[in-house]
Amino acid sequence: MTLAISGPRRVPRTTAGRPANVGRPERWASVLAGSALAVYGLDRRDAGGTILALLGAALVHRGATARCPLYTALSVSTADDADGDGSTPTSPAAAFRASDAVKVERSITVNRAPAELYALWKDPLNLPRFMTWLEEVHPIDGRRARWKAKGPAGTSIEWVAEVINEVPDSLIAWKSVANPDIKNAGSVHFRRQRGTNATEVRLVFEWVPPGGRAGMAVAKLLGSNPANRIADGLKKFKRLAERD
């Protein structure tokens, strides 16, 4: 049996007279938890597993449609205008709460000069060559690019990243803007090792997992731990740079 799962769609504030009542973080948590529960239930191949699979499917539907019948009955809503028709703009400079964010910092030494590594990283078309969890990156202009990444359980995650700070041969920093699937920010630092032609490459990445830290736990369960992917990406970057 094949279970098709998709991530939350952007749902209008009102659909056929029924307002959305589940916010974006909670929608992602529902999709991730429901996906894990459905897969586990199907693997059991018994009556109890069927019930779990149906419950998981209901959670996925809840996240995909932004509608919760229980919330409707209780007149509860966790949705806000940013989850609706986009009439309320989201500031590109809006910061996420530190308590909601997960931060990963990794470094590696590459036997190339900082200027070479900076140039390699600066071209957004190169990013999927070593960050293999990225499906594609499309430049929009000189400072912005649209990123599409592989999410848990066959989902895709998209956002627009804008470069917010650059120091030639030393630093590139960026953050997600507008209304991303996942709020994130990051920076990569290039520092020449004293007395050598080698460079320490340090990558700092911070993001708010779908559904907060609970969503991060589900992502790990599904084998999509971003911390491991980032570390692997740096190793691939080293191999790519030293090969070229």
Q: CATH code at 233?
A: 3.30.530.20
Distance separating alpha carbons of residues 59 and 63, to the nearest angstrom: 6
The answer to whether residue 58 is domain-embedded is yes
- Model pTM score: 0.58
Q: Which domain holds residue 160?
A: 98-243
Judgement on whether residues 79 and 104 belong to the same structural domain of the protein: no
Judgement on whether residues 143 and 33 belong to the same structural domain of the protein: no
The answer to whether residue 7 is domain-embedded is no
Q: Please state the domain count of the chain.
A: 2
Q: Which of 56, 83, 110 is the last residue of a domain?
A: 83
Q: Locate tokens 């957004």: which residue?
A: 124
Q: Which of 83, 118, 142 is the last residue of a domain?
A: 83
Q: Which of 19-28, 31-40, 135-144, 146-155 has the lowest mean pLDDT?
A: 19-28
Question: Which runs of E-coded beta strand occur in the chain?
Answer: 14-15, 18-19, 102-110, 134-139, 144-150, 156-167, 171-177, 184-192, 199-207
Judgement on whether residues 123 and 19 belong to the same structural domain of the protein: no
Distance separating alpha carbons of residues 50 and 46, to the nearest angstrom: 6
The answer to whether residue 3 is domain-embedded is no
At 27 the pLDDT is 80
At 2 the pLDDT is 33
Judgement on whether residues 49 and 121 belong to the same structural domain of the protein: no
The answer to whether residue 93 is domain-embedded is no
Judgement on whether residues 102 and 189 belong to the same structural domain of the protein: yes
Judgement on whether residues 153 and 210 belong to the same structural domain of the protein: yes
Judgement on whether residues 209 and 103 belong to the same structural domain of the protein: yes
Distance separating alpha carbons of residues 222 and 200, to the nearest angstrom: 32
| 3-state DSSP assignment of residue 211 | coil
Judgement on whether residues 175 and 107 belong to the same structural domain of the protein: yes
127-184 pLDDT, tens digit per residue, is: 999 998 889 999 999 899 999 987 766 778 889 999 999 999 999 999 999 888 778 8
The answer to whether residue 90 is domain-embedded is no
The answer to whether residue 9 is domain-embedded is no
Q: Which of 83, 116, 142 is the last residue of a domain?
A: 83
Judgement on whether residues 69 and 154 belong to the same structural domain of the protein: no
Strands 171-177 and 156-167: antiparallel
The answer to whether residue 168 is domain-embedded is yes
